[in-house]
Amino acid sequence: MSFVKKIIKPVEVLVVASKTGRVTIKYPFEEPWISPEFRGKIEIDPTKCIGCGACVNACPPNALEMIESEDKKTLRYFVGRCIFCWRCIDVCPVGAIKGTRNFELATNDPLDLYDYIVHNRVKCRECGKVTGETTRMLKYVLEKAFVTENYNNKCPDCRKKIFINAISMRRTGPVGEKT
């Protein structure tokens, strides 16, 4: 490289700059540069969700939480904690969670950051105690695995009781009755 060329070399950046032109865009008036694979906020379809809690177990930052009360089970999604990993979408057994490309999540109302899906809990038909599962979960399980009609809608304690009773009836008569 000759001496003059060496001196002039740094100025070549002007050529690069003029070739490139402007690279910034007038966001938000123009579309941001987002790839089709981008992972954004998730959306949970309340009509499909069965409240099984698989997503809650998989969620690394606890953005999805199951809040249990007396007769309700509430799935809460908090965008503020979400890391947009979409693990919940991988593990959802019914495909209720859908990923979107939405990342513009700023809001002036903190309540906008929460999504709630409320499920009813199953009541035991025998003793009236609420069991762990939701009504939809029960329906889902019944579709997959056939449980005798006699046993569904009952809490584990009652199921045990009925089962033992049934066996003892067959052999020695009802439990607890001494002859």
Partner 1 sequence: MEGEKLILDKYIELSRDMGGKASIEGDTVHIIVPSEKLVEAASKLFNEYQCDFRVCVGTDERPLNGYFTITHIFTDNRNGLYVLLKTYIEPQDPKVPSITNAVPGADWCEMEARDLLGIEFTGRTPYRLVLPPEWPKGLHPLRKDVPYNYRPQIRGVSEKVSTTTETGVIPIGPYHPALHEPEYFELYVEGEKVVDVKYRGFHVHRGIEKLGETRMTYQQVNFLAERICGICGFEHSSCYALAVEKAAKLDVPERAQFIRSIVLEVERIHSHLLWLGVAFHVLGYDTGFMHVWRIRERVMYLAELLTGSRKTYGINLIGGVRRDINEEKKQKTLEVLRELEKEYKGLIEVALSVPQVRKRASGTGVLPREDALKLSVEGPTARASGIDKDARRDLPYAAYKYASFRVPVYTEGDNLARLLVRVDELVESMAIIEQLLDKIPKGPILLEKYEIPEGRVGVQVVEAPRGGDVHFVITGHGKPYRWRVRAPTYSNIPALRVMLRDQPLADAPLTIASIDPCFSCTDRVLIVRENGRREWLRLTGGLKI
Name the site residues for partner 1 (rule: CB under 8 A). 6, 9-10, 12-13, 16-17, 20, 23, 33-39, 57-61, 83-87, 90
Report DSSP state, residue 108: S
Give the nearest distance from C-beta 79 to partner 1 in angstroms: 16
Give the nearest distance from C-beta 105 to partner 1 in angstroms: 15
Residues 6+ apart with CB under 8 A from 99: 39, 40, 42, 43, 86, 89
Nearer to partner 1, 16 or 145 (CB): 16
Check if the beta carbon of residue 73 is closer than 8 Å to that of residue 158: no
Instruction: Read off the tokens for 73.
Output: 């089970």
Give the nearest distance from C-beta 8 to partner 1 in angstroms: 9
Nearer to partner 1, 35 or 108 (CB): 35
Give the nearest distance from C-beta 81 to partner 1 in angstroms: 12
CA of 4: how far to CAs of 10, 13, 14, 15, 17, in Å?
11, 16, 17, 17, 22
Check if the beta carbon of residue 122 is closer than 8 Å to that of residue 153: yes
Nearer to partner 1, 48 or 87 (CB): 87
Nearer to partner 1, 58 or 124 (CB): 58
Nearer to partner 1, 27 or 163 (CB): 27
Give the nearest distance from C-beta 19 to partner 1 in angstroms: 10
Residues in the chain: 179
Please state, in angstroms and rounded to a whole number, the distance separating the CA atoms of residues 155 and 157: 5
